[in-house]
Amino acid sequence: MPRRRWKDVLARDLDVVFVGYNPSRLAWRTGHHYANPGNRFYHLLHDAGLTPRRFAPAECRDLPRLGIGLADLLHTWSPRADDFPAAAYRAALPAFRARLARAAPRAVMLNGIGIYRLLFGRSPSRLGRDPDARLGRAVVFVAPSSSGLANGHAAARLAAYGELAHWLRDRAVPALITRAPGRVKRRRARRVTESGRGAG
């Protein structure tokens, strides 16, 4: 395994930053976020209308051109996110919050219900946008993890991404290049319990 300094994909004033737990082994080896073939992240971006086509993990650093950033709580790899104890993630929160504050995005999507619990000390009241939560100036959205381990929540996951896409589109975000608006159906967000936690 090569020695690597893991890097978020961030820039100032992005429309949305997707927040994951930590890089997977393959992500660490390649330097590409959400590199595991079973991870649905890039499928979700496209299916929700957040990108005009399905991006490949190797293109992750092109996403800021669309107003999209990527960040992880912990910059150390593991096969599964729950290979690290919650205390390790909590210890990484101050550095993560500082990186996010410098980027100052308009919204964040927490890619895993457990990430919400780590940041806010409670479970979200709903999936999609949480009207009671903020990270700096950023509006907070939450979805079940895009990991293949959470594929049992595919419909709820896509609905949360779709709600984010609608929220951005309703605010006429210029960088957001979407598919036809009718392709993404609004669905009422519902509470679910996330069963899978996989590193990106």
Give the tens place of pLDDT for each residue, 48-77. 999 999 999 999 999 999 999 999 999 999
**102 three-class SS:** helix
Query: Minimum mean pLDDT among 16-20, 40-44, 111-115, 168-172: which range?
Result: 168-172
Q: How would you class 38 by CB atoms within 10 Å of its CB: exposed for 0-12, middle for 13-18, buried for 19 or more?
A: exposed
Nearest alpha carbon to residue 194 among 116, 120, 114, 137: 114
pTM, entire model: 0.85
Burial of 99-137, coded b for 16+ CB within 10 Å and e otherwise, reads ebeebebbbbbbbbbbbbbbbbeeebebbbbbeebebee
Query: Minimum mean pLDDT among 109-123, 132-146, 170-184: which range?
Result: 170-184
Confidence at 106, pLDDT banded by 50, 70, 90: very high
Contact by Cβ (8 Å): 121, 154: no
Mean pLDDT of the 29-37 span: 94
Whole-angstrom distance between the N-terminal and C-terminal Cα of the chain? 16
Residue 87, C-beta contacts closer than 8 angstroms, at least 6 positions apart: none
What's the pLDDT at 122? 96
What's the pLDDT at 174? 54
What's the pLDDT at 10? 97
CATH 3.30.2130.10 fits 16-183, yes or no: no
**142 three-class SS:** strand
Whether 177 shows a pLDDT value over 50: the answer reads: no
What's the pLDDT at 173? 54
What's the pLDDT at 69? 98
- What mean pLDDT is reported for the chain? 87
Ranges of each domain in the chain: 16-183
What's the pLDDT at 95? 97
Hey, which bits of the chain come out as E strands?
16-20, 68-72, 107-111, 128-135, 138-143
Question: pLDDT (tens digit, 9 = 90+) per residue, 181-192?
Answer: 434 433 334 344
Residues paired with 110 in a beta bridge: 19, 142
Report the C-alpha gap between 176 and 6 in whole angstroms. Answer: 26
Query: Minimum mean pLDDT among 43-47, 76-80, 130-134: which range?
Result: 76-80
DSSP summary character for residue 80: B
